[in-house]
Amino acid sequence: MQTLISADDLSRRLAGRDDIRVLDVRWQLGGPPGLGEYRSGHIPGAVYVDLDTELAGHGGPEDGRHPLPGSADLQAAARRWGLHDGDTVVVYDDLGSQSAARAWWLLRHAGMRDVLLIDGALAAWRSAGLPLAVGDEKPPVAGTVHLSYGALPTIDADTAAAVARTGVLLDARAGARYRGETEPIDPRAGHIPGAVSAPTSDNLTPDGRFRPAEELRERFEALGVSAMRPVGVYCGSGITAAHEAAALAIAGFVPYLYPGSWSQWSNLPDRPVETGDAPSAAE
């Protein structure tokens, strides 16, 4: 399935079709929420989506910082956004798709087939000289979409540990957090034993677009990924892991995503932690 759409292609489609829904998923770790940025300028007709309240559930520390929302909760939110079965959904942010990918992955996981990321995010729309709207949009007519999880593969902590032993488990966080040199948020520093450092920022070109499929495939193969071995991905709390999953999909791989990610693992006292540059042979 296609993962990306260019800003120009989206503009052309919006001019000729009425079944395309555009979602603005501006968010950054630590806030503030992106609603103010949305009101300052967004793609005309786009609906603002709050990542913390609509694309994540809530639980204890042992569940991680951004557990998946219940499928019924996601469906209710998607209907508020005006989504219907069979719609094409386009998601974007202003962060190289690193937060919008959460909506891309969740909606695909919940059964929507045609979900696309704007390659280059909002910066690409601006660079193309396309118009922006300000303020709030008129609320969309309620949608009727039906969502149910299971279309994309996920793993829990036990299976993440197993993938690190039998396949390749990619850590999408910055290298310093992987190595355990710093940990600004979660209770323990380091990484899941056996995981391989694969910062999600390396999936992008300097202008915030995804690298070509061939380059991404070469990158992941150099990290040990192949079609013959399971590949899993995690990050701090499951947000940028979705971005890595998108890059893997562009490269032709089908990854398992660990939604709890490091924020869950580091809150489970019986889970071992590894530090340093290179992964050990996970036990």
In Å, how far are 106, 115, 141, 148, 245 from 85, measured between CA atoms?
A: 15, 12, 14, 12, 23
* Rounded Cα gap, residues 64 and 237, in angstroms: 6
Mean residue pLDDT across the chain = 95
Is-catalytic flag, 235? yes
What pLDDT does 283 receive?
A: 44
Q: Which tens digits make up the pLDDT trace of 6-57?
A: 999 999 999 988 889 999 999 987 777 899 999 999 999 999 999 999 999 9
68-116 pLDDT per residue, tens: 999 999 999 999 999 999 999 999 999 999 999 999 999 999 999 999 9
Give residue 281's pLDDT: 56
Percent of the chain with pLDDT over 90: 93
- pLDDT by residue (tens digit) across 110-138? 999 999 999 999 999 999 999 999 999 99
Instruction: Kindly state the percentage of the chain with pLDDT values over 70.
Output: 99
Catalytic residue among 157, 225, 235, 241: 235
Q: b vs e for 201-233, b when ≥16 Cβ sit within 10 Å of the residue's Cβ?
A: eebbeeebbbbeeeebbebbeeeebeeeebbbb
Q: What is the pLDDT of residues 172-185, one digit of tens each?
A: 999 999 999 999 99
